[in-house]
Structure 1
């Protein structure tokens, strides 16, 4: 099963990854990729550079970032290969633990359901 771990951050925070975090995250990502758990991961550019497209009552609108109404935004994601939700949660916990005590982030984990006609990755 594949799971999407959505990493939420507070963009107004001054938290920035230091060299230790970057090194530790690199090691964890390499380990998890070799073990077949981590399929893909990436951070996202700030919401000021993003846009939302909304459908409401048949009308489509575009909203350019930043998204002031949102306290937290999606800061990145990881696609995980795991036999169960518990294992996906465990993998996401490892990402959070690498950050240490000074961070305030969370992950939402959702099982991915592909359309039967979609090609598997």
Structure 2
């Protein structure tokens, strides 16, 4: 019985990530593997009660600021949320997948024009 209670508590704590309307902020760095560039990245996001997140990403690419909106779906997977989404940045289509685990938001992305890379962000309270 204790084992089942522990499992239930762990699942409840991982699902607290899904609180609808709660805004969360992460900051860190992205890498573009096509051009071997990197820069700062910030994500501010909130989810609805169905696990759909709306996010604003801001950062710098070769000193040029960027900002884009993204919508992505989350699915609980043990102690993390798996994520998948799309975005249009400067007219180019991007797909990305990643996860939220603890205070970390990680992802890998690729575009229809050959940009690809990853990002690792830490939550800011």
Task: Decide which structure has greater strand share.
Answer: 2
TM-score normalised by the chain length of structure 1: 0.28
Task: Decide which structure has greater helix share.
Answer: 1
> Relative contact order (alpha carbons < 8 A, sep ≥ 6): 1 or 2 greater?
1
TM-score normalised by the chain length of structure 2: 0.28
